[in-house]
Amino acid sequence: FMFAATVALLLCVDRFNVVVPSLLSVTVHECGHLLGMALCGIKPDRISLSGCGVIIDTHQWSSRCKGSIIALMGPVANLLPALILPRGTFKTAMLINGLFNLIPISGTDGGDAIRYATEGIMSKVKWLFLTVNVLFIASILTVGLLLFVKSFNPTLVTASVYFALIFVASEK
């Protein structure tokens, strides 16, 4: 219900016609993860929708490499087609979705790929990963605040709050 309510609300307030291309971009992204799972021989246990997006659960991670591949397949599914798509809102949505998900912050695909790849040694380098998380979020917030003050554009401030929330949620 929460996913449908969120989409309905976004469609009601969408003055710039970006919700539908964004939803299509998210669909392509999640299909990339599912394709990665299929290529690695892993079946999803459950696919569910939340107010924040799609959740694919599985308990079959069999290797660090497969986990990293699956995590990166979502952004790859966005970025490869974006290379050949004509200019427009859908191409922009694909690029933004792919690039933002590659940011190495806990809770993003980039962060998950690093977590899977360093699974055996993460306890030794966790401080480094946490430092990178905080620096990325602080950098996005700083640029966002400058952009907000200069042109009253809250996009990057909102993105930094989003990244901070998923970082905190993923560290629990």
Size of the chain in residues: 172
Tokens of 99: 């690039």
**Looking at the predicted structure, is the pLDDT value of residue 31 above 80?**
yes
Return the higher-pLDDT residue of 128 and 83. Answer: 83
CB 62 within 8 A of CB 111: no
Tokens of 114: 């690093």
**Looking at the predicted structure, is the pLDDT value of residue 101 above 70?**
yes
Model-level pTM? Answer: 0.79
How many beta carbons lie within 10 A of that of residue 155, not counting itself? 11
Q: Could you give the angle at the alpha carbon of 12 between the alpha carbons of 11 and 17, nearest 5°? A: 50
Q: Percentage of the chain with pLDDT > 70?
A: 95
109-117 vs 89-102: helix crossing angle, rounded to 10: 30
Place of tokens 């907000």: 148
**Looking at the predicted structure, is the pLDDT value of residue 2 above 90?**
no
CB 50 within 8 A of CB 121: no
**What is the C-alpha separation between 26 and 17, in angstroms, rounded?**
15
Q: How far is CA 156 from CA 47, 74, 101, 116, 141, in A?
A: 29, 22, 14, 28, 7
Q: How confident is the model at residue 62 (pLDDT cuts 50, 70, 90)?
A: low
**Looking at the predicted structure, is the pLDDT value of residue 114 above 80?**
yes
Tokens of 89: 């809102």
**What is the C-alpha separation between 35 and 66, in angstroms, rounded?**
12
**Looking at the predicted structure, is the pLDDT value of residue 1 above 70?**
no
**Looking at the predicted structure, is the pLDDT value of residue 159 above 90?**
no
Residue 136: enclosing H or E segment and its boundaries? helix 122-151
Q: What is the pLDDT of residue 35?
A: 96
Q: What is the pLDDT of residue 141?
A: 92
Q: How confident is the model at residue 146 (pLDDT cuts 50, 70, 90)?
A: very high
Q: What is the pLDDT of residue 65?
A: 79
Q: What is the pLDDT of residue 91?
A: 94
- Chain mean pLDDT for the chain: 87
